[in-house]
Structures are given as C-alpha cells and as structure tokens.
Amino acid sequence: MQKFAIVGFGFMGITHAMSILNHPGAQLVAIVDLDPEKVLENLGQEAGNLDTVALKKEDISGIHTYTSLEKCIVEEKPDACILSVHTDLHYSMAIQILESGIHVFVEKPLVLDPGQGDKLIELASERDLLLMVGHVVRFMPPYLKLKDWIESGEFGELSWLSMTRFTGLPVWGQWKEKQNVFGSTGGALFDLAIHDIDFVQWVLGKPDSIEATTLPGKLSAHDYVCALWKYESGPDVKIEGGHRFHHQFPFEAGFSANFEKASIKYSSSSPEHITIATDAESLQVAVGNAMEGYKEELGYFVQCLDRKAKPEMCLPESSIQSIRICYEHLSE
C-alpha cells in the first residue's frame, strides 16, 4: 500500500484525492494546504475546467490536514507526494520533497524554467526516487485511440491534425489572485495549450518548424496561442487554445484528423465517442470517457512505485521537452 500526501487541495488536488481513495493500492494519509479548514468548508463547490470529482467531506473526514509541508513529511512519512500547487511553487516544493527521500508526482507544467527541471531530474536520480509529471492527456482513452490510429496506420497516413483547447478565465481557488502576479502561472500557453503540445510531441516528435501567434490576457502575455507545426516528412499540425473568454465560458477540448482513408473528430462536449467519416459514411466509435485518464494516470504512478520503476510513459525529460517547445511558440 502506497501512502500519499496531497500538497495543494484546490481543483486538481481534489481530483487526485478521489483517484487515490478509489485505488486499492493507494492510501491518502494527509492533505497540505494554506487554509485546510476553508477547503473543507467549500468542498463540493470547487470549480474547474472539467467535472472530474464528487468528493464529500465524509470521504476525507479521517485524513490529517497540515499547513506545513515539512511537518506533514515528518509526522506522516508518506511514500509519495502529489504536488498540485501553482506552478511558481513547483520547483521549491519538489526539491523539499525529494530531499526528504519521498517520491513526487508534479502537476504540469513541471516548471517554467527548463534548467530547474533538469535539476529536479538530477536530484531524483541521485536519491533513487521517482519523479513523474501529470500530463493526463497521455492517459485519456480518446487521445490514446488517436495515437493508436496514427501508429498502426489503420486509416493510412496522417496528413493533418488539429488540436484545440479553450476555457473561460480561471478564477477558482487562487487563480484570481494570480492575475496580480502577471505571468507567474505561465498563462494559457504553458498551463492549458501545453496539454496538446505535449501530446503531439509525444506521438509525432518535435516539429521541424513552428509558426505561432500569441495574444495577451489577464494572466500572461500568451493567454491565446494559434500555431502551425511543420514536419519535413510528416503531417501538418495546428494547435490552438486559450482562456481569454469570460469565466463562465464552457470548457471544450478536442481534435480533428485527416488520414488517407478517413477523417476523425472528437470533442469533450461528446466525451465518450469519436466520429469517423469517409466519403461513403459517418459513424461513431465508443472510446470511453476522457476523464478516466485521471484514474489511469494515478494507477500508473502507483504501479511505478510498486515496481520501483521509472515512469517510462511519462518521463520528466519528455515533459521538459514540451516546456522547451512552448518557448518556441514565443520566438520571433
């Protein structure tokens, strides 16, 4: 049984808590948050891009809460920590966790400075500890199906891929406060569009060239991005996303792909199927809800902990590659 502490109990912390509580090989022993009492009072009212959890107070009634990460580590001695605080705290807290001899799962993006990411990888390796980054799209059934079709060639060669991800301006938890620290979150490019940037580089590799337009918003100078990726011997890829809309604007993510023999379309607004169209017909294929990706992601990390094996499906080196590619969208 792997003992977990969750550090940061906002939308993502609650999402991970639900996954831990539902996993037979994992135990949630502690929650670390600046104001755990407020978190418990507001439980069930947390907002987020996705409807992923239905956590109730009684589900965590016996879980110890802390305001100090150091005290939690000393008293609970967890096997691993889930780090789901804002990006500007990832590096310092991950260092503290690793130096305490504890495995760590860090929400994306790992860091905004790739050099800091390299240092975290080096420290984890020196301490023989696991470091995994939460690129959940790699575990979502519709996206894995797309990956299978690209790699198997079932519909022939892929010529065009379009990835989109839009939402309203996040103001839940501490997000509203982050508007006063412009750029600290990385904005939509590093915190939202990175989902699709990471997925495409994971499946197709680094593009040969990127043509990108970014626009500012309330959180950063790049809260909207529209990019065309070019591969010398591969498909053209468009990546578009942002959170420049009003807060109540509904979240939507998806993809469209054109293969030799068929075109396919997926949207989170119809999350359990993919549409496949040919010149003769259009049909829907059940693929499973994308939100299952959070459960699969946690389950994979637990497997890695049990086996003391590196998370090959989600290595931090690959995550840093995605961060470096994000910066290429800002190059003139």
For the entire predicted model, the pTM comes to 0.94
In a domain, 331, yes or no: no
Structure tokens at 246: 């009003």
Give the mean pLDDT of 185-205.
95
Q: What is the pLDDT of residues 174-188, one digit of tens each?
A: 666 666 666 677 899
Structure tokens at 43: 């439980």
Which CATH number belongs to the domain containing residue 127 in this structure? 3.40.50.720
Helices (DSSP H) in the chain: which residue ranges? 11-21, 36-41, 69-76, 90-99, 114-126, 141-152, 175-178, 187-191, 194-204, 292-307, 316-328
Q: What is the pLDDT of residues 283-322, one digit of tens each?
A: 999 998 888 999 999 999 999 999 999 999 999 999 999 9
What pLDDT is stored for residue 34 in this prediction? 87
Are 284 and 154 part of one and the same domain? yes
Give the mean pLDDT of 207-216.
96
In whole angstroms, give the CA distance from residue 198 to residue 289.
20
Amino acid letter, residue 198 = D
Nearest 5°: the CA angle 97, 195, 285 is: 125
Are 100 and 55 part of one and the same domain? yes
- Give the total number of structural domains in the chain: 2
Give the mean pLDDT of 253-266.
98
Give the mean pLDDT of 243-265.
95
Are 112 and 33 part of one and the same domain? yes
Asked if the model's pLDDT at residue 47 lies above 80, the reply is no
Task: Give the HSE-up count for residue 97: Cα atoms under 13 Å, Cβ half-sphere.
Answer: 32
Are 59 and 160 part of one and the same domain? no
What pLDDT is stored for residue 329 in this prediction? 97
Give the mean pLDDT of 154-176.
88
* Number of residues that make up the chain: 332
In a domain, 312, yes or no: no
Asked if the model's pLDDT at residue 52 lies above 70, the reply is no
Q: Which of 42-51, 77-86, 228-237 has the lowest mean pLDDT?
A: 42-51
Share of the chain above pLDDT 90, in %: 80
Are 228 and 285 part of one and the same domain? yes
Q: Which long-range contacts link 154-158 to residues 24+ away (Cβ below 8 Å)?
A: 155/259, 155/260, 155/261, 155/262, 155/264, 156/259, 156/260, 156/261, 156/262, 157/235, 157/259, 157/260, 158/234, 158/235, 158/257, 158/258, 158/259
Last residue within a domain, chosen from 101, 133, 165: 133
Last residue within a domain, chosen from 107, 133, 159: 133
Are 284 and 145 part of one and the same domain? yes
Helix, strand, coil abundance in the chain, percent, nearest 5: 35, 25, 35
Nearest 5°: the CA angle 263, 314, 140 is: 40
What pLDDT is stored for residue 46 in this prediction? 47
Are 65 and 105 part of one and the same domain? yes
What pLDDT is stored for residue 289 in this prediction? 85
Whole-number mean pLDDT of the chain?
92
Report whether 120 contacts 316 (CB < 8 A).
Answer: yes
Are 30 and 119 part of one and the same domain? yes
What pLDDT is stored for residue 172 in this prediction? 65
Q: What is the pLDDT of residues 14-41, one digit of tens each?
A: 999 999 999 999 999 999 998 867 666 6
Task: Lay out the sheet containing 26-32: strands in order across.
Answer: 64-66, 26-32, 2-7, 80-83, 103-107, 131-134
Cα separation values, 64 from 77, 114, 248, Å: 12, 34, 34
Which CATH number belongs to the domain containing residue 195 in this structure? 3.30.360.10
Report whether 247 contacts 168 (CB < 8 A).
Answer: yes
Range(s) of the domain holding residue 50: 2-133
Last residue within a domain, chosen from 88, 116, 133: 133
Are 261 and 155 part of one and the same domain? yes
In a domain, 263, yes or no: yes
In a domain, 318, yes or no: no
Are 104 and 152 part of one and the same domain? no
Report whether 84 contacts 14 (CB < 8 A).
Answer: no
Asked if the model's pLDDT at residue 62 lies above 80, the reply is yes
Helix (H) or strand (E) holding 158: strand 158-168
Q: Which long-range contacts link 282-290 to residues 24+ away (Cβ below 8 Å)?
A: 285/145, 287/141, 287/142, 287/145, 288/141, 288/142, 289/141, 290/140, 290/141, 290/142, 290/143
